[in-house]
Amino acid sequence: MDKLVSDQAEGLRRLLARSGSRVIAVTGGSLGAGCTATVMNLAVALAQQGKDVLVIDECVGDKSVSAMLGSVRGAGNFAAVMRGAGNFAAVMRGEMTLDEAALRHALGFSVLAASRAHREGYSAAQFSVVLRGSADIVLIDAQLDQQGHLSALAMQAHDVMIVTRMAAQAITDAYACMKRLHYAHAIAQFRVLVNHVQSVEDARTAFANLAGVAGRYLAVALEDAGCIAADARMARAEELSRCVVDAFPSTPAARDFRHLAAELQYWPMRPAMSSQTPWMAPAAVTAAQHADQPSAQHA
DSSP secondary structure string for all residues of 167-202: SHHHHHHHHHHHHHHHHHH---EEEEEEEEES-HHH
Least confident of 123-132, 156-165, 187-196: 123-132
Q: What topology is assigned to 21-298 in CATH?
A: Rossmann fold (3.40.50)
Look at residue 185 and tell me whether its pLDDT is greater than 50. yes
pLDDT above 90 coverage of the chain, percent = 54
Long-range CB contacts for residues 263-267, cutoff 8 Å, separation at least 24: 263/225, 263/226, 264/22, 264/24, 264/42, 264/137, 264/225, 265/17, 265/22, 265/46, 265/49, 265/51, 265/136, 265/137, 266/13, 266/17, 267/22, 267/159, 267/191, 267/223
Cα dihedral: 180, 34, 83, 73 (round 10):
-140
Query: Chain centroid to CA 3: how far?
Result: 35
Look at residue 279 and tell me whether its pLDDT is greater than 50. no
Look at residue 16 and tell me whether its pLDDT is greater than 80. no
The mean per-residue pLDDT over the stretch 159-178 comes to 95
Look at residue 104 and tell me whether its pLDDT is greater than 90. no
Name the band, by pLDDT with cuts 50, 70 and 90, for residue 115.
confident
The mean per-residue pLDDT over the stretch 124-134 comes to 81
Look at residue 172 and tell me whether its pLDDT is greater than 80. yes
Look at residue 298 and tell me whether its pLDDT is greater than 50. no
Q: What is the pLDDT of residue 278?
A: 46
Least confident of 18-32, 77-91, 99-113, 128-142: 77-91
Cα 119 to Cα 116: distance, rounded to the nearest angstrom: 5
Look at residue 27 and tell me whether its pLDDT is greater than 90. yes
- Pairing between strand 110-113 and 53-57? parallel
Range list of β-strands (E), 16-52: 22-28
Cα 181 to Cα 145: distance, rounded to the nearest angstrom: 11
Look at residue 288 and tell me whether its pLDDT is greater than 60. no
